[in-house]
Amino acid sequence: MRVRRTVPATILLCACFAGCQGTERKAPPLTADQRTAKSKLEEQMNEAAKTAKTYHAMDNRELLDRLVEQSKALKEPFNSLAYRELKTRTDIDARALTGLVKENQNVGGLLPLLLLRNQNKQAYTEVPAEMRAKVLADALQVSKTFNTWGLPGVYLQDASNAMIEAGRSAVPSLKRILSETRPAPLYGSKEHVLAQQRKYRLCDYALFFLEQIAGKQDFRIPESTAERDALIKQLATAK
């Protein structure tokens, strides 16, 4: 009878390891284009780090001035360095933010309003709903991309929730926006694709907000543009 011999596991592991080591290959050198792209990315990252450090060194007053500037420039909260830095601070004067909203009852007051909502909910609710609605409606109407608002039916950003919180005070302005049929694009791979697929327009955001304010919390924007237009027509003519 033949005796079957077994190879110790340690020997097999060593052999496998040696084989792997022997077949391991070094990554190919970067091409000229890849080196250029890598260098550019590193430069951008270094510049971003320096800029963040600069903002961190600013006092609150200077940051608040930058906040209004970046709000007028249509920066989203997550893309506003002033907003991001101020959001980390616990010594922001709520009265200063309220003052900025009162002084900028347009898109310039959006980031101060959203920061106030984030930092001091009581002070935020003390801002008259009519004033909040005016700031939010102006910001919505001048938006070029809509990442500040989110994508109705998928996710909402703070600005959208603030619009709904403004309630009936926002209705007149939103009704005027129902006639705005220009596209409402978003950037970002997933958001961009979804916005294109659904063919959202500015008026569709107004439709969504009006239905939410009316108490239809389960409202979903129809996929068909024709169905949306029919709902918009009803809302536009309703008293």
Asked whether residue 15 is assigned to any structural domain, the reply reads no
pLDDT per residue of the chain (239 residues) written in tens, 0 to 9: 443 444 444 444 444 444 444 445 666 787 876 676 666 556 555 656 768 899 999 999 999 999 999 999 999 999 999 999 999 999 999 999 999 999 999 999 999 999 999 999 999 999 999 999 999 999 999 999 999 999 998 899 999 999 999 999 999 999 999 999 999 999 998 888 988 888 999 999 999 999 999 999 889 999 899 999 999 999 988 87
Q: Tally the domains of the chain.
A: 2
pLDDT at residue 130 in the model: 98
Same domain, 150 and 203: yes
Asked whether residue 21 is assigned to any structural domain, the reply reads no
**How far lies 123's CA from each of 112, 168, 180, 208, in Å?**
12, 20, 33, 27
Same domain, 169 and 225: yes
pTM: 0.79
The domain of 194 spans: 139-239
Interacting residues of 168 by C-beta distance below 8 A, sequence separation 6+: 129, 213
Q: How many CA atoms lie within 13 A of 64 on its CB side?
A: 20
Same domain, 74 and 115: yes
Same domain, 121 and 151: no
Domain finish residue from 100, 127, 154: 127
Domain finish residue from 127, 162, 183: 127
Both tokens of 39, joined, read 């260098």
Q: What Rg do the C-alpha atoms of the chain give, in angstroms?
A: 27
- Helix (H) or strand (E) run with residue 156 in it: strand 155-156
Asked whether residue 133 is assigned to any structural domain, the reply reads no
pLDDT at residue 153 in the model: 84
Domain finish residue from 127, 161, 194: 127
